[in-house]
């Protein structure tokens, strides 16, 4: 299964790396195997999961 790695520019995302680190940052762009965010550049081979970030309080209703 491939990683879904594209969304709207400026959207807050949660990146989970293969090392287990979790990073909440803003998405800027995706270019040939690299996700570019405000926190830096991440190769698709180092990213385990990428999703749109929603705080826990947002889900409680």
- Under the banding of pLDDT at 50, 70 and 90, the label for residue 1 is very low
Residue pLDDT, tens place only, 4-23:
778 899 999 999 999 999 99
DSSP 11-27: -EEEEEETTS-EEEEEE
Angle at 9 between CA 36 and CA 5, to 5 degrees: 55
Q: Is the pLDDT of residue 59 over 80?
A: no
- Where are the chain's structural domains? 12-54
pLDDT of residue 55: 82
pLDDT of residue 56: 78
Q: Which two tokens stand for residue 33?
A: 């195997």
pTM: 0.81
The number of helices, as runs of H, and strands, as runs of E, in the chain is 1, 5
Residue pLDDT, tens place only, 18-54:
999 999 999 999 998 899 999 999 999 999 999 999 8
Please, are residues 5 and 30 in contact by the beta-carbon 8 Å criterion? yes
């Amino acid at each position: 299964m491939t990683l879904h790695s594209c969304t709207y520019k400026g959207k807050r995302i949660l990146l989970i790396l293969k090392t287990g680190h979790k990073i909440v940052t803003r998405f800027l762009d995706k270019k040939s195997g690299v996700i570019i965010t405000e926190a830096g550049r991440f190769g698709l081979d180092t990213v385990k999961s990428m999703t749109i970030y929603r705080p826990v309080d947002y889900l409680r209703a």
